[in-house]
Amino acid sequence: MTETLPLIALTAPLHSSSYDAAYGADIGRLAALAMAGIEAAGGRALLLDASGSSLQEHAVELVDIESVDGVLVLGGGDVDPALYGSTGHLSINGVDRRADDLELALIDAARNAGRPVFAICRGTQLLNVAFGGTLIEDLGSDSFHKDHSPAEDMVEHEVLVVPGTRLRTILGSGTATVMSSHHQAVNELGDGLIVSALAEDGIVEAIEVPEVAGGEWIVGVQWHPEENRTPAGQLEALLGAFVQESRTRSRLRATAVAPSTTSA
């Protein structure tokens, strides 16, 4: 019998009214690259639109978490500062509170159902907020984490991967060259999370739940591994580990509910 490939739900605010046309197109482009990466890693991709738009084809609130094997939260605009107890900052833009609420609920549902969660950029910030953490609302105009020119292109920089973390095992190296574009970052770490990568300026570049046998598989990176200028093999390593964990846990669930073949 042919094994069913693990189903991965990817979510992003694809048609948010708070985005201009160019930014919305870039969100869609990155989502398509992430979907292709999931499929290349041996998964099935289900793209969900978390935005408060009538254009959405799949509302996040309609997804049945029991039918999903893993959840990938993608990038987008800034998280509503009210969700982490802030009154905001002049630089904050692209907020879509409906998307925030839906994706926070999806993260909670995935955790309660024991589904692996992988997060990218805004997804990582939202992940930290889901665990009770806060965000740095603006890294400043001299930050090397984004392109401050009108082009707002991705920038390349190095991150230091913390020894003993799940991320270090996945990437197999103490350093990584990454592509990023963010003006916010993790501030106070959420309960139960650890830092798994840092930039040279001390900014948190990745977070995760510590690896414990049978525990949660939750990893978030602040950069964009799905960006097509990312060094070869990085996206494959990250999504490969995520999809494999989703597949393994799916098999364990199937074994647990399989009817007994023994007779009384």
Q: pTM value?
A: 0.93
Quote the pLDDT of residue 258. 60
Q: What is the dihedral of CA 113, 185, 102, 44, to 10 degrees?
A: -60
CA nearest 180: which of 157, 206, 162, 149? Answer: 157
Q: Does residue 85 lie in a domain region?
A: yes
In a domain, 2, yes or no: no
Domain-located, residue 34 = yes
* pLDDT number for residue 264: 39
CATH number of the domain within which 168 lies: 3.40.50.880
- Domain assignment of residue 62, given as a range: 7-257
Number of domains into which the chain is organized: 1
Q: What's the pLDDT score for residue 55?
A: 43
In a domain, 262, yes or no: no
Q: Which of the residues are catalytic?
A: 121, 224, 226
Residue with tokens 């020119």: 149
Predicted pLDDT of residue 53: 54
Residue 130, judged by CB atoms within 10 A of its CB (0-12, 13-18, 19+), counts as buried
Gap between the Cα atoms of 15 and 121, Å rounded: 18
Distance from the first to the final alpha carbon of the chain: 28
Of residues 45, 100, 37, the one with CA closest to residue 71: 45
Q: In the prediction, which pLDDT does 236 show?
A: 98
Question: In the prediction, which pLDDT does 213 show?
Answer: 78
Write the CB contacts of 198 (distance below 8 Å, at least 6 apart in sequence).
Answer: 159, 160, 162, 204, 205
Query: For 30, what's the count of Cα atoms within 13 Å in the CB-facing half-sphere?
Result: 31
Which parts of the chain sit beneath pLDDT 50?
Answer: 1, 54-58, 262-264
Per-residue tokens: 144: 């090397």
